[in-house]
Structure 1
Amino acid sequence: MTDVSITPGPGRHGGRVARRVHFHDPDAPVATVVAPSVFVAVREVQGRLLLVRRADSGAWELPGGRVDVGESAVEAAVRETAEEAGLQVRITGFVGLFTDPAHVVRAASGGQVRQQFVVCFHGWSEWRRPRPDGREIAEAAWFDPSDVTALRLESGARRWIHHALAGASEPHLE
């Protein structure tokens, strides 16, 4: 399966240039770094899932991002959710570890190409209206799990969400 994000032209998505995501793409650039990232499958009392829509590509995904030097994966997950969706989250479990070397991302600047190394968590938040950051994230919203499959998701995000919603008794490991 190949997934390459579309780079918006001038004026689309606020004129931002999208990062390029390659998933099992034979023409993908070679990764130059492995970057640890965290994503959180945040649920609320009604069972809905929090998703954020990227401003650069328009694709929906779980809130998350890179782990900064000096912070733990859990701290990064809480920080990224607060930054991207304006919600405080409590980490409640572990969805899985996703380290497929054929999943690479080229930065919007066109420079660094990173191999995804994703730790995905389960999280809980009291119901509140999410607020996108307005820079990286254009929209943040709660979704009924049955509605998620109809959304535009990149392949990596689709896999993380699938495993988060599957209810497996053990985490996904790759």
Structure 2
Amino acid sequence: MARTEYYDDPQAPRPNSLVVGVSAVVTDEHGRILMQRRRDNNLWALPGGGMDLTESVPQAAFREVKEETGYDIEITGMVGLYTDARHIIAYTDGEVRRQFNICLTARIVGGTLAISDESTEVRWVSPDELGDLDVHHTQRLRLRHYMEGLQSPYIG
């Protein structure tokens, strides 16, 4: 199922669902960040996705990272809470999502790199390579906040 992301676009379709999303900035011992190229829009993104009704935020992050990358993680902190109503995601099945995202930080504690059916590529990216990747600006904002090392989580 393909998706189209809109930001501050008056032509964006009207949302018909609200979804809690989680994402994780997973880093390795070299300071590289785990990124995936999404199959549904071909953009690079942090691992993450929608939270299930039976999960906590950390459980959802653990599950999403495991499903999308093959790695087990330990949550180490929080980058921020992203609730910008101008960000709309439309799917080919008719869902038009207003999503808010809780972005956490994490480290690898196990598992083996694996590409899921949601991704075409998963790899470690050094911070100086991030600018070369095709990344939606909402993802880039999370990465920038992580790189800035804010004293407290971003809320916006």
TM-score by length of 1: 0.85
Amino acid at match of 2:101: V
The one of 36, 39, 45 aligned to 2:20: 36
Partner of 1:117: 100
Amino acid at match of 1:122: T
Maintained 8 Å contact 1:45/1:127: no
Partner of 2:118: 136
Higher strand share: 2
The one of 113, 116, 130 aligned to 1:148: 130
Amino acid at match of 2:52: D
What is the percentage of aligned positions where both structures have the same residue? 34
TM-score by length of 2: 0.95
Maintained 8 Å contact 2:73/2:110: no
State the number of aligned residues.
156
Superimposed CA distance per residue, residues 18-55 of structure 1 (whole angstroms, 9 cap, x where no aligned partner):
20111111211111221000000000111100001011
Q: Aligned to 2:145, what secondary structure does the other structure show?
A: helix
Structure 2: gaps (5+ residues): none
How far apart, in 1, do the equivalents of 2:72 and 2:98 lie?
28
- Give the root-mean-square deviation of aligned CA atoms: 1.4
Structure 1: gaps (5+ residues): 1-16
How far apart, in 2, do the equivalents of 1:118 and 1:146 lie?
24
**1:156 Cα deviation (Å)?**
1.4
